[in-house]
C-alpha cells in the first residue's frame, strides 16, 4: 500500500512513546517507521531533485505540516520529537484495538480512519477471541449501553433475558440493576466490521449469562435464542 501522512500518525506516536526522554529526531523517526512499516512501490521512489523518497518526505511532513503539534499529540523541541500527555492518552484509548486490527491484516489506512473517527462505526463480534477484551471497552460497550437504554424505554425500565426471562435486578436487587449481556443475532465477520449503530441495535438481544453461554457453547452449532428457549420449554414439560 501507499502510505498517507495520516497513516503515519499512530505508529509514529507508538515509537515516540517507546523512545527515551529526549525523544526521536526526524531522521530517527524516518528510520524506525521505515523499518516498521516496510514501504514499497511509489513510497520508496526518490523524489526528483531531492534526497528523500516519498515515504521519508511524508514523515518530514508531520513536522512541516504541524500534523502532530496541531493535534497536541507531540511537540518538536531542539530537533527532537516528544510525545505529550495528550498523545499518551490517545494511545491508551486506542492502542489495544489498533494493534489487534493490525495483527489481523487490516490496512493502515483503514485503521487510521477508524482511529480518527474514534471507532464510532466499529462493531466487533464477541466471538472473535483476538478482540474480546477490546470489544468490552470499545464499540460494543457503547452498543450495550444503547441497547439497554432502548430496552428500558420499551419495557418500563425493566431489563431481562429474552430466552428465560431472568432479571438481574430482581435477584440481586440494586447490585444487578441494569445488568444484562448483549448477544449478536448475526455474527459480524472481521472483514466487515463497520455497521451503522441503528442497524446494529436491531441485530442484538439481551441475554442472561447462562443463556449466553449455552448459545455459544458449541461453535459448530450456534443456537438462536428461539432454539434455546424451545430447549428450556421442553425440559419443563
Strand partners, 207: 181
Residues 74 and 144 in one domain: no
Closest to 207 measured CA to CA, from 196, 189, 222: 222
Residues 91 and 20 in one domain: yes
| 113 occurs within a structural domain | no
Place of cell 438481544: 205
Residues 93 and 136 in one domain: no
Q: What is the pLDDT of residue 198?
A: 74
Q: How many domains does the chain have?
A: 2
Per residue of the chain (237 residues), what is the pLDDT tens digit? 788 898 899 899 989 998 877 789 999 999 999 998 999 999 999 999 999 999 999 999 999 999 999 999 999 999 999 999 999 988 887 776 677 666 656 677 777 666 665 555 554 444 443 444 444 445 566 777 888 888 888 888 889 999 999 998 888 887 888 888 888 887 644 434 445 667 778 888 999 989 998 998 877 778 999 999 999 998 876
Residues 92 and 157 in one domain: no
For residues 186 and 201, give the distance between their C-alpha atoms in angstroms, rounded to a whole number.
11
Residues 192 and 144 in one domain: yes
Q: What is the pLDDT of residue 29?
A: 96
What CATH number did the domain enclosing 25 receive?
A: 1.10.10.10
All three cell numbers of 139 = 464499540
Amino acid at each position: 500500500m501507499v502510505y498517507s501522512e495520516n497513516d503515519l500518525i499512530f505508529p509514529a506516536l507508538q515509537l515516540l512513546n517507546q523512545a527515551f526522554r529526549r525523544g526521536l529526531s526526524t531522521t530517527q523517526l524516518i528510520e524506525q517507521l521505515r523499518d516498521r512499516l516496510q514501504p514499497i512501490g511509489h513510497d520508496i521512489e526518490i523524489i526528483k531533485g531531492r534526497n528523500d523518497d516519498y515515504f521519508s518526505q511524508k514523515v518530514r511532513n508531520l513536522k512541516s505540516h504541524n500534523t502532530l503539534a496541531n493535534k497536541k499529540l507531540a511537540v518538536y523541541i531542539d530537533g527532537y520529537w516528544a510525545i505529550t500527555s495528550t498523545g499518551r492518552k490517545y494511545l491508551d484509548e486506542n492502542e489495544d484495538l489498533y494493534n489487534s486490527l493490525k495483527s489481523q491484516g487490516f490496512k493502515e489506512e483503514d485503521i487510521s480512519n477508524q482511529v480518527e473517527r474514534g471507532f464510532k462505526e466499529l462493531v466487533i463480534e464477541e466471538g472473535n477471541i483476538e478482540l474480546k477484551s477490546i470489544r468490552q471497552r470499545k464499540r460494543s460497550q457503547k452498543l450495550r449501553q444503547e441497547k439497554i437504554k432502548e430496552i428500558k424505554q420499551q419495557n418500563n425500565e425493566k431489563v431481562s433475558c429474552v430466552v428465560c426471562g431472568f432479571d438481574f435486578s430482581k435477584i440481586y436487587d440494586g447490585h444487578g440493576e441494569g445488568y444484562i449481556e448483549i448477544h449478536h443475532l448475526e455474527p459480524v465477520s472481521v472483514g466487515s466490521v463497520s455497521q451503522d449503530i441503528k442497524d446494529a441495535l436491531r441485530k442484538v438481544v439481551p441475554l442472561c449469562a447462562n443463556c449466553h453461554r449455552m448459545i455459544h457453547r458449541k461453535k459448530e452449532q450456534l443456537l438462536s435464542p428461539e432454539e434455546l428457549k424451545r430447549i428450556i420449554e421442553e425440559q419443563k414439560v
